[in-house]
Amino acid sequence: MLHLEFMRLAFGAGIVVGLLAPAVGFFLVQRRLSLIGDGIGHVAFAGVALGYLLALPLVLTALVVSVLGALSIEGLRARRRAAGDQALALIFYTGIAGGVVLVSAAGALNVNLFQFLFGSILTVTRTDLAVIAGLGAGALALIAVLYRPLLAVVVDEEGARVSRLPVVPLNALTAALAAVTIALSMRVVGILLIAALMVLPVIAAGRVAWSMRSTIMISMGIGLASVLTGITTAYYANLPPGGTTVLVAAAAVLLAELLSAPAHLLNRRAR
């Protein structure tokens, strides 16, 4: 399998996304914003459509539009101009509707949009991989350097505000990281499924982890294993890689739930 270049490129992109998506998703899940990835994914669709219309690189336009959408959601939420789910709904539907209109205006409705909606990791090029690896490594480094303040906001946002941590910029950074992750992951699992790769490994890890730090590390491990298993299974069973990857991550949640059940029972009795 690895003698084929397109498979090597697919694994390369998959490794970056498998590590990055849960690392960013960790902060979203803890802030109970699990579905924000879905909302940004729909905005990314508008970005892809804009790329078609302006004949620009699609990852670039998706990246810019996703970051703007993510910052808009965070801005609406932070200013209490809309409840979190309302802000999400506004951006979510505006994104998908805008995408359809822009694709139509570009005369590209016949384009195979499926590759962006559900991923097309086997078509990743060397240039794609360079962009995904570069931006992905940068995003992971940023999370590592800012882990403590990001966690402080997750743990107690008002407490962080009172103690004068830069809460607004940190929340904006989290939203921007989510947008970058989604734009980079379009080719791997697709716009409609990327949120799953950000959330499911974190849910699974939370069942078996013993601390927040172990949660993020385990979730990255599960994300990586899901992508590698998903691509391999898809190759041999002739299945779509994006969907297969997400199903593997969902199976990891089920497995973690089963593994953690006895420990939960013991904990409840101990209390």
Partner 1 sequence: MPVAVRLDHVSFAYDHGALVLRDLDLAIDRGEFVAIAGPNGGGKTTLLRLILGLEHPTAGRIHVSLQRRGYLPQRAQTPIDAPLTVRELVGAGRVARSRLLGPASRTDRQAVRDAIERVGLSERADRRLSTLSGGQQQRAFIAKALAAEPELLALDEPTTGVDVEAQEAIAALLQRLGSELGMTILYVSHEFGAVEDFVERIVLIRERVVFDGPPADLPGIWHDPSHVHAAP
Distance CA(137)–CA(109), nearest Å, equals 34
Residue 3 or 271 having the CB closest to partner 1? 271
Distance CA(196)–CA(215), nearest Å, equals 17
CB of 231 to partner 1, least distance (A): 29
CB of 26 to partner 1, least distance (A): 10
At residue 217, the 3 state secondary structure works out as helix
Residue 126 or 213 having the CB closest to partner 1? 213
Residue 2 or 270 having the CB closest to partner 1? 270
Residue 4 or 265 having the CB closest to partner 1? 265
Residue 133 or 212 having the CB closest to partner 1? 212
Q: Can you give the binding site for partner 1, defined by CB under 8 A?
A: 30, 32, 145-146, 148-149, 151-152, 154-166, 206, 209-215, 267, 270-271
CB of 211 to partner 1, least distance (A): 5
CB of 166 to partner 1, least distance (A): 8
In 3D, which of 37, 17, 47 has the Cα closest to residue 223? 17
* Packed helices 126-145 and 147-155: angle between N→C axes, nearest 10 degrees: 70
CB of 145 to partner 1, least distance (A): 5
Instruction: Give me 60's structure tokens.
Output: 């670039």
CB of 29 to partner 1, least distance (A): 8
CA distances from 80 to 60, 73, 106, 152, 153 (A): 30, 11, 36, 21, 17
CB of 268 to partner 1, least distance (A): 10
CA distances from 108 to 50, 99, 100, 104 (A): 11, 11, 10, 6
Distance CA(158)–CA(240), nearest Å, equals 43
CA distances from 113 to 143, 186, 207 (A): 32, 11, 36
Residue 80 gets which letter from DSSP?
A: T
Residue 33 or 67 having the CB closest to partner 1? 33
| Residues in CB range of 223: below 8 A, 6 or more apart | 17, 18, 19, 21, 22, 23, 197, 201, 249
Residue 81 or 126 having the CB closest to partner 1? 81
